């Protein structure tokens, strides 16, 4: 297994003596692994079989689920839950032996579409199955597939999001797949944000199989489980990712949870660093330094330090900018603005949606200079702002939500993890 | 077992899953006693490790550092040792307990803010729900939730027993 790659860059190396804000880009490439070395997987599939899933959708979802189940090995665990207004734990969590897989396939084949949707109940039962399995060290994942809203049982998206966060803290990660035009992208996207997994938008039923294959495949390729980024001293600067990664303070560090990373996954995390103003009695410092540590469930992997020199205002104003960092930061802010604007548009707040995008575009123009990438991005945001001034179609809202979601988590246009090319050199051997 | 075990800073950090900076910060904040002697030969004891673990567990319960410090100040090393053992690893309750506490509780009625997402009338009464658990390919158990804690316990027992019986059969 080749090691992790970890680089940290800042947009500008000089800061003012008074408080100042800088941006940092952390580039991470997860270690390369092989199928033989992978940790076991503790998987639950949660499939919506409400009436609206009838026809192609349920048929293709079942086929994809069967294909996924067949990829597991006896050291993995598997559970399958179907729900409408009733929840059927058709395969309670068990090691994926030949018998379990055979029983699971038969159970999945028998399911028909009918009824309304207790999305939260079905998902929670699956979390219970994954949680009940004694599988420490495994990649625990619940994958929920639905084409609809939560309309029975717990239906409040904020409440469901809180449950996802609580369950993630207890070791159960949730990924969500929305199919068609009628699901709530903010509910499913929020569950994945809070649940530490991934959200996928599936426009057509024939895309169900490749997406389930992507998500299940990724659980089988994790090489850095529960990855985290630890930045400190926290007392020197407030550090926050420009994406919905869970961030907490631990002692004098900020800890940002990045979730499970798969073999060669290439992740860019843009961070905002706000230095605290020095107190009156503090001796003047020549520089401020932050340490960035990358780690995972197996401990620390790599470390990098960034130093900012304190300089007079004139020198700070005149310093060159690192455009690679500027671009990543601008893209991160654009993704957040687009997601928020989509929510506002969905709720009929057209003017607020337009303003949200216009403001972010103007801010990017403010530091774009003659950089064509940044000027292009600012222009696209202005176009988006115009589009959001009236009601977007349900499909358009979902496609836009998914695009911004994939961008903020460094994922490919169809939602799969972005991978770095394999390294040709064989260092360390 | 190894009560007099001494750790250098790196070993202590590895054991407790924290960084050296966190250790220094806790010492500065009075959460950990200062080690002796100071300098490169500094050694930390089992007491330091236990305290670090207890701090982590208490933080997982979202207790602020000031409250944690107050609790730690009152406790001698041997009580801290006992407490670390008593607290469950990782989080305050397991995923299973959490799910059961959510689903076991009477389900919330849709409120005004949720009505937007609900296609049913907002005043849906609290409803019981049938759950189907498959025990073997052709055998199922039907349960109407929510169940009382006692019945739930018995159901668990029944399931464990049932699975045992069917596993036997398969071999």
CB atoms closer than 10 angstroms to residue A216: 22
CB of A295 less than 8 A from some CB of B: no
In this prediction the ipTM stands at: 0.79
Partner-chain contact A106 B137, CB within 8 Å: yes
Chain A residue nearest residue B140, CA to CA: A90
CB of B21 less than 8 A from some CB of A: yes
Distance in angstroms (rounded) separating the CA atoms of residues A388 and A341: 7
Percent of chain B predicted with pLDDT > 90: 0
CB of A349 less than 8 A from some CB of B: no
Overall size of chain A counted in residues: 429
Per-residue pLDDT of A139-190, as tens digits, reads: 999 999 998 777 777 788 888 888 999 999 889 999 999 999 989 999 999 9
Smallest CA-to-CA distance from A51 within A141, A152, A158, A144 is with A152
What is residue A111's predicted lDDT score, i.e. its pLDDT? 82
Pick B19's closest partner by Cβ from A85, A184, A230: A230
Chain A residue nearest residue B133, CA to CA: A89
What is residue B63's predicted lDDT score, i.e. its pLDDT? 66
- In contact, A350 and A391? CB cutoff 8 Å: yes
Of residues A166 and B148, more confidence is placed in: A166
How close A137 gets to chain B, by Cα (Å)?
A: 13
Backbone angles phi, psi at B72, to 5 degrees: -70, -35
Mean pLDDT (10-residue bins), chain A, 429 residues:
87 90 97 85 92 86 91 92 87 90 89 76 90 81 89 80 91 95 92 96 93 94 94 91 92 93 96 81 79 93 95 93 97 96 94 96 96 97 95 95 96 95 62
Task: Locate A52 and state its tokens.
Answer: 């609206």
Per-residue pLDDT of A52-80, as tens digits, reads: 888 888 889 999 999 999 999 999 999 99
Partner-chain contact B131 A251, CB within 8 Å: no
Pick B21's closest partner by Cβ from A127, A153, A233: A233
Residue B146 has pLDDT above 90, yes or no: no
Outline where A172-322 has alpha helix (H).
Answer: 185-195, 208-219, 313-318
- In contact, A356 and A343? CB cutoff 8 Å: no
Task: Give B36's DSSP letter.
Answer: B
What is residue A404's predicted lDDT score, i.e. its pLDDT? 96
Average pLDDT of chain B to the nearest whole number: 69
What is residue B123's predicted lDDT score, i.e. its pLDDT? 35
Global confidence as pTM? 0.72
Kind of pairing between the strands at A5-10 and A14-15? unpaired
Smallest CA-to-CA distance from B169 within B138, B142, B143 is with B138
Chain B residue nearest residue A123, CA to CA: B99
Per-residue pLDDT of B70-126, as tens digits, reads: 778 777 777 787 777 555 444 457 888 888 888 764 333 333 222 223 333 333 334
Interface of A with B in 177-206 (CB under 8 A): 184, 187
How close A134 gets to chain B, by Cα (Å)?
A: 11
- In contact, A93 and A79? CB cutoff 8 Å: yes
What is residue B6's predicted lDDT score, i.e. its pLDDT? 82
Partner-chain contact A184 B117, CB within 8 Å: yes
What is residue B125's predicted lDDT score, i.e. its pLDDT? 36
CB of A33 less than 8 A from some CB of B: no
Overall size of chain B counted in residues: 171
What is residue A155's predicted lDDT score, i.e. its pLDDT? 80
Smallest CA-to-CA distance from A195 within A160, A152, A155 is with A160
Smallest CA-to-CA distance from A129 within A161, A82, A165 is with A82
CB of B107 less than 8 A from some CB of A: yes
Rounded to 5°, the CA angle A378-A384-A386 comes to: 110
Distance in angstroms (rounded) separating the CA atoms of residues A352 and B89: 45
Residues 6+ apart with CB under 8 A from A358: A381, A382, A385
What is residue B71's predicted lDDT score, i.e. its pLDDT? 79
Set of chain B residues whose Cβ sits within 8 Å of the Cβ of A163? 98, 102
């Amino acid at each position: 297994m080749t090691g992790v790659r970890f680089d940290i860059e800042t947009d500008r190396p000089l800061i003012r003596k008074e408080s100042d804000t800088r941006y940092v880009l952390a580039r991470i490439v997860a270690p390369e692994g092989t199928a033989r070395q992978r940790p076991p997987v503790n998987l639950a599939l949660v499939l919506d079989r409400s009436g609206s899933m009838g026809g192609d959708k349920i048929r293709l979802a079942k086929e994809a689920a069967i294909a996924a189940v067949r990829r597991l090995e006896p050291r993995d665990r598997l559970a399958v839950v179907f729900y409408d207004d009733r929840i059927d734990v058709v395969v309670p969590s068990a090691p994926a032996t030949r018998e379990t897989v055979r029983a699971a396939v038969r159970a999945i084949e028998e399911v028909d579409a009918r009824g309304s949707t207790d999305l939260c109940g079905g998902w929670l039962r699956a979390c219970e199955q994954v949680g009940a399995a004694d599988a420490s060290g495994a990649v625990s994942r619940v994958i929920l597939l639905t084409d609809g809203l939560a309309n029975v049982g717990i239906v409040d998206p904020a409440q469901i999001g809180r449950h996802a966060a609580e369950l993630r803290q207890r070791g159960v990660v949730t990924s969500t797949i929305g199919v068609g035009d009628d699901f709530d992208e903010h509910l499913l996207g929020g569950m994945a944000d809070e649940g530490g997994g991934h959200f996928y938008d599936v426009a057509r039923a024939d895309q169900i199989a490749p997406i389930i294959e992507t998500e299940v495949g990724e659980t089988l390729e994790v090489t850095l489980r529960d990855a985290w980024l630890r930045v400190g001293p926290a007392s020197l600067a407030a550090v926050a990712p420009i994406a919905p990664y869970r961030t907490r303070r631990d002692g004098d560090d900020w800890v940002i949870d990045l979730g499970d990373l798969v073999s060669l996954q290439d992740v860019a995390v843009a961070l905002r660093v706000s230095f605290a103003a020095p107190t009156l009695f503090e001796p003047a410092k020549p520089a401020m330094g932050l340490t960035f540590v990358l780690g995972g469930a197996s401990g620390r992997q790599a470390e990098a330090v960034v130093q900012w020199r304190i300089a007079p205002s004139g020198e700070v104003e005149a310093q060159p900018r690192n455009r690679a960092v500027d671009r990543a930061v601008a893209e991160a802010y654009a993704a957040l603005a687009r997601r928020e604007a989509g929510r506002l548009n969905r709720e009929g707040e057209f003017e607020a949606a337009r303003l949200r995008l216009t403001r972010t575009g103007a801010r990017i123009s403010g530091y774009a200079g003659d950089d064509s990438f940044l000027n292009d991005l600012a222009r696209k945001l202005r176009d988006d702002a115009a589009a959001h001034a009236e009601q977007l179609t349900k499909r358009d809202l979902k496609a836009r939500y998914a695009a911004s979601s994939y961008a903020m988590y460094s994922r490919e246009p169809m939602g799969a993890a972005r991978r770095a090319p394999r390294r040709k050199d064989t260092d360390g051997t | 077992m190894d009560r007099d075990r001494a750790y250098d800073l790196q070993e202590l950090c590895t054991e407790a899953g924290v960084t050296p900076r966190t250790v220094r910060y806790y010492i500065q904040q009075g959460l950990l006693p200062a080690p002796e002697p100071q300098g490169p030969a500094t050694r930390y004891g089992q007491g330091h490790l236990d305290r670090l673990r207890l701090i982590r567990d208490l933080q997982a319960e979202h207790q602020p550092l000031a409250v944690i410090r107050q609790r730690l100040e009152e406790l001698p090393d041997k009580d801290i040792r006992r407490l670390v053992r008593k607290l469950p690893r990782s989080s305050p309750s397991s995923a299973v307990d959490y799910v059961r506490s959510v689903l076991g509780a009477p389900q919330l009625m849709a409120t005004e803010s949720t009505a937007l997402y609900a296609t049913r009338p907002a005043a849906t009464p609290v409803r019981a729900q049938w759950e189907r658990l498959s025990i073997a390919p052709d055998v199922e158990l039907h349960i109407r939730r929510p169940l009382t804690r006692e019945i739930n316990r018995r159901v668990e027992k029944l399931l464990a027993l049932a699975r045992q019986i069917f596993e036997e059969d398969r071999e």
